[in-house]
Amino acid sequence: MFQLPRGTRDFTPADMEKRRFVEHRMRRLFASFGYREIQTPTFEHLELFTAKSGESIIDELYSFQDKGGRDLALRPELTAPVIRCYIEKLQMEPKPLKLFYIGNCYRYDRPQKGRYREFQQAGCELIGASTVEASTELIAMAYTIIHNVGVKNIGLHIGDLTLLAALFDHYKITPEQRKPLIPLIDKAQYTELSTALHDQGLPAKDIEELLDLLQTSDLKKIKPFIKGNRSAETEYLFIEQLFTLLHASFNITNAHLKLGIVRGLDYYKGFVFEIEAPVLGAEKQLCGGGAYELVNIFGGSEVPQAGFAIGFDRTILALESEHFTFPVSFVDAYVIPVNEDMIPIALQIATTLRDHDTTIDVDLLRRGIGKALKYADTLHAKHAIIVGPKEHQENAVTLRDLQTGAQLQVKTTDLFTHLKQS
């Protein structure tokens, strides 16, 4: 017997109904902000991903050679492909350009809850706008999508890499010294960070102060430490306005500062943010994003860029963990011919009803009415339409409400009206 490849999943009809429901809502919400969908291939030239993330990413990639000897890789994320496509095809479009995507990504990772080797991401790229209103709208959209999809308990944290760099400058921590610190900050390993700073010769008082600044949600606390640093002072005002706009214009009141957000990758610049669902425990991050510079690395013309990606699978997990009530699909009617002569009539009735945008199934196994009704129950059918010869002579059928068990004789031409009423 053949088995599913390790770390991948089959989605049954019940799973797919949940997934399509969430996907449809996300797509609708991206569109409501004026974003338009884009799709790129499942695999790209390997060097696209190493150019973005460094050679070390190869260990996590599904990479292979095609029969023409090209080095290809299944995409591990969608920002690099979208930016590649932008440079190839969309650089001349009017700005700002608002693009979103929903697609599968692949990482050769140890499978565990919330981490799969094939997973779906929903994300976007905003190209050509870096005003505070543009940045705020982007963050607000991420929050609104996760919130309106139905996740109740979510946290929004906003950091800034310019302000973080200014703090490092204040404590005279050199760019070289920062490198080993970044992963510790990223993983919130403050004990190890404290040791590392101590080893770098930072006084205990400064270590305590810096750790506090990395964890504070009070923006004002940062102010004294960036004084005189022009670009940091400008960025401070930007972040201050961003928080004000989130509240005033997008009704988002639970955004918190967190300068400890570093996003790990070199091409992020300026603001960064993360959205988490605490219900998921250790793997709680649902979304990450920020401003970045990738177009120029890939050979395109300088332009402001920002974006985010939402973990689609984790969003579903969060909804399930919060006992979200997903809509249940149903069959409007199950049509049962009582004998072989009635089969063409039953099929014809189904065809006519389907033209009215209904979901109609028909007994295809010539079973008795009892068995057919039992099967109709497993389909969550709302009605059974029983097609018998006597009723057919009067152009009628028996319509049975499968919730109440009530039956009545209905003219075939009135069937649709009856189905919609009940």
Footprint on residues 198-257 left by a copy of itself (CB under 8 A)? 244-245, 248-251
Cβ proximity to a copy of itself, 208 vs 377, nearer residue: 377
Among 118, 283, 293, 414, binds a copy of itself (CB under 8 A): 118
Question: Smallest gap, in angstroms, from Cβ of residue 334 to a copy of itself?
Answer: 8
- Rounded to an integer, what distance in angstroms lies between the CA atom of residue 379 and that of residue 336? 14
Cβ neighbours around 120 below 10 Å, total: 19
Cβ proximity to a copy of itself, 68 vs 224, nearer residue: 68
Among 188, 364, 406, 408, binds a copy of itself (CB under 8 A): 364
Here the tokens at position 238 are 């930007």
Q: Is 43 in the site for a copy of itself (CB under 8 A)?
A: yes
Q: How far apart are the two ends of the chain, measured CA to CA in Å?
A: 46
Question: Smallest gap, in angstroms, from Cβ of residue 168 to a copy of itself?
Answer: 31
How far apart, in Å, are the Cα atoms of 116 and each of 52, 123, 240, 243?
A: 22, 18, 37, 34
Stretch that binds a copy of itself, among 15-23, 168-176, 192-200, 398-406 (CB under 8 A): 15-23
Among 190, 298, 326, 416, binds a copy of itself (CB under 8 A): 298
158: three-class secondary structure by DSSP:
strand
Among 6, 205, 230, 323, binds a copy of itself (CB under 8 A): 6
Stretch that binds a copy of itself, among 132-140, 268-276, 279-287, 307-315 (CB under 8 A): 132-140
The count of C-alpha atoms lying within 13 angstroms of the C-alpha of 357, restricted to the half-sphere facing its C-beta, is 1
Stretch that binds a copy of itself, among 1-9, 155-163, 397-405, 406-414 (CB under 8 A): 1-9
Subset of residues 374 to 413 that bind a copy of itself, contact rule: CB under 8 A: 375, 378-379
Among 359, 369, 416, 418, binds a copy of itself (CB under 8 A): 359
Q: Is 44 in the site for a copy of itself (CB under 8 A)?
A: yes
How far apart, in Å, are the Cα atoms of 341 and each of 346, 347, 349, 384, 392?
A: 9, 11, 14, 18, 11
Q: Is 366 in the site for a copy of itself (CB under 8 A)?
A: yes
Q: State the helix-helix crossing angle for 204-215 and 161-170, rounded to 10 degrees.
A: 170
Cβ proximity to a copy of itself, 302 vs 357, nearer residue: 357
Q: Is 347 in the site for a copy of itself (CB under 8 A)?
A: yes
| Buried residues in 258-293 as b, exposed as e (16+ CB within 10 A) | bbbbbbeeebbbbbbbbbbbebbeeebbbbbbbbbe
CB 120 within 8 Å of CB 313: yes
Question: Smallest gap, in angstroms, from Cβ of residue 252 to a copy of itself?
Answer: 10
- Rounded to an integer, what distance in angstroms lies between the CA atom of residue 58 and that of residue 73? 9
Among 133, 266, 320, 394, binds a copy of itself (CB under 8 A): 133
Among 77, 219, 322, 331, binds a copy of itself (CB under 8 A): 331
Longest dimension (CA), the chain: 96
- Rounded to an integer, what distance in angstroms lies between the CA atom of residue 157 and that of residue 166? 19
Which long-range contacts link 25-32 to residues 24+ away (Cβ below 8 Å)?
Answer: 25/148, 25/149, 25/150, 26/102, 26/122, 26/145, 26/149, 26/310, 26/312, 27/100, 27/102, 29/141, 29/144, 29/145, 29/148, 29/149, 30/100, 30/122, 30/124, 30/141, 30/145
Here the tokens at position 136 are 């705020």
Q: Is 370 in the site for a copy of itself (CB under 8 A)?
A: no
Cβ proximity to a copy of itself, 140 vs 219, nearer residue: 140
Question: Smallest gap, in angstroms, from Cβ of residue 145 to a copy of itself?
Answer: 11
Among 175, 299, 327, 370, binds a copy of itself (CB under 8 A): 299
Subset of residues 96 to 115 that bind a copy of itself, contact rule: CB under 8 A: 96, 98-99, 104, 106, 108
Size of the site for a copy of itself (CB under 8 A): 101
Q: Is 62 in the site for a copy of itself (CB under 8 A)?
A: yes
